[in-house]
Structure 1
Amino acid sequence: MSPYDPSAFPPFAVTVDLVVLTVRRHALCALAVRRGESPFQGRWALPGGFVRPDEDLSSAAARELIEETGLCAHDPDSPVQANGAHLEQLATYGDPKRDPRMRVVSVAHLALAPDLPAPRAGGDANSARWAPVDALLAQGGYGREGEQATPLAFDHAQILSDGVERARSKIEYSSLATAFCPPEFTVGELRRVYEAVWGVALDPRNFHRKVTGTPGFLVPTGGTTTRQGGRPAQLFRAGGATLLNPPMLRPDV
């Protein structure tokens, strides 16, 4: 049996790309960074970076998340923490031509978090911002006001589209929508998460009946808030259920 010769195989790199979603001003938004270096210098992209030799994939994704957002990833089987974000592996992208530098395989991850402050740029990015998903995926490309619209760098439009669809489908049958909410939230705030992610308007009374009647979905805290204006609204936190029975089915649009 001949010994294994690493030099007989072409080298390639592994990266992690992050689809970081949040709800801002009742719209589903993703974290976008403008590249400060080649390739695709000046184009908007998803945050991410190369996996270090001493890292596994989940560690690399968690490191990139905290570098780009200041958020620590939490165990998806544990309650959401105030400074935590849901983080899960999304898919692997390995088209030989996806990166003009060399053969690069990207393992994309999806992160969901409550509304966050303005992001800070890091690594090879010269600016970062929260942008509406619809604008990032617009047919003519994305650009800030006064700048030319261009498609997202690499294959990031496809990765973003896949991440959005994953989020839209998962909040149907899981309690993942609460990852977009603060530790204590109202039913109205949770409804606006569903409306933003699905892109539809929901009937408030039917929604309230469904979410409060689903075992283990929401737990009353005993407190109220007037941050939405009007009468005090009851506050809830995420319950222990991870799967919803019955599910919250997405309306046909």
Structure 2
Amino acid sequence: MTIPVVPAAALAVPHGFLGRQGGVSEGIVAGLNVGLGSQDDRAAIAENRRRAVEAVLPGAALVTLHQVHSPDAIAVTAPYADDSRPHADAMATATPGVLLGILTADCAPVLLADRDAGVVGAAHAGWKGALGGVTDSVITAMEGLGARRDRIAAAVGPCIARASYEVDDAFFRRFCEANPENERFFLAGRAGHHQFDLEAYVGARLAAAGLGRVELLGQDTYANEAAYFSFRRATHHGEADYGRQISLIGIPA
């Protein structure tokens, strides 16, 4: 089965936002599950990762992180083993043949590129990392490799949409205390609850950082079960595990 690769018009380098279709995993993580933190068969995960790489930048070396919902970004100069993954949530590289991979299952994947400088970046922006500044961190990491923020284009990929993302008053207050203007990313819901627009928040952080172009894909991981894995949906269904999809960007060798 051909792996569907969703591109972003803003990014003029090899990249793609992948979903759950086209993989070999079975059961509740059926499809293209690439999550090493899942209970899935390791051989299936390895095959899914191989297929993902071949769909975006054949022959490249895949680099992923041990994601911890931090604001931390690293520079990648060479590939490393999966069991040596750094604890961080964003990365940048100027090394040809390296393919950066961000895993998500409702959080927002962000891919970035300064094509003129030959520098790319990728970030895992859940609410905690986004609020903490993970997108600012990856931009800074890219600048350290020669990128210029007014030339950087960014795309926010499939993530949980506002209609699917209910949060409580404490969550709402946390964002508004950080910046009163953040109230615009919430809609009132049932008593004591709000609907949060993670994608719009991440996009606004990228725009405020002075990037040259920001694109939002507008795809809801929670609502589209056939196309995407979703942690919140799996939780609501009482499932014991959940799959992760991958978003990829790299520089040809």
Common fold by TM > 0.5? no
Q: Which entry has the higher C-alpha Rg, 1 or 2?
A: 1
TM-score if structure 1 supplies the norm length?
A: 0.28
Bigger RCO of structures 1 and 2 (CA < 8 A, at least 6 apart): 2
TM-score if structure 2 supplies the norm length?
A: 0.28
